[in-house]
Amino acid sequence: MAKGYWVSVYPTIADPESLDDYNELARQAVKAAGGRVLTRGGCRVVAHEAGIAERVVLIEFESFEQAVAARASTAYQEALAKLPQGFERDFRIIEGLD
């Protein structure tokens, strides 16, 4: 079964500290859903072409279905409610290769 991944890129974050509440709740929700954080903001990035060298988050789940269910979970929806104004995010759920 192919794994599932959350990929988030944050091109604009006006106030990184304003994400603290979201980050804490999201971390708990991801862990409860069986997700494993592979990389997150603060890691080194070398961007090419139109690449974004800002915060990038990559989370792995045992399956694509598990990744979709984690996004829809009550715990993650509570985290989303804490996202502040003043930032831009590109969030995707993708299926890995077998």
In the chain the domains, ranked by start, together with CATH numbers, are 4-95 (3.30.70.100)
> Is-contact 98 12, C-beta < 8 A?
no
| pTM for the model | 0.88
| Predicted local confidence at residue 61, as pLDDT | 98
Task: For 20-30, write each residue's pLDDT tens digit.
Answer: 999 999 999 99
DSSP sequence for 65-95: HHHHHHHHSHHHHHHHTTPPSSEEEEEEEEE
| Predicted local confidence at residue 42, as pLDDT | 65
Task: For 33-86, write each residue's pLDDT tens digit.
Answer: 999 999 987 677 788 887 777 788 999 999 999 999 999 999 999 999 998 877
| Predicted local confidence at residue 40, as pLDDT | 82
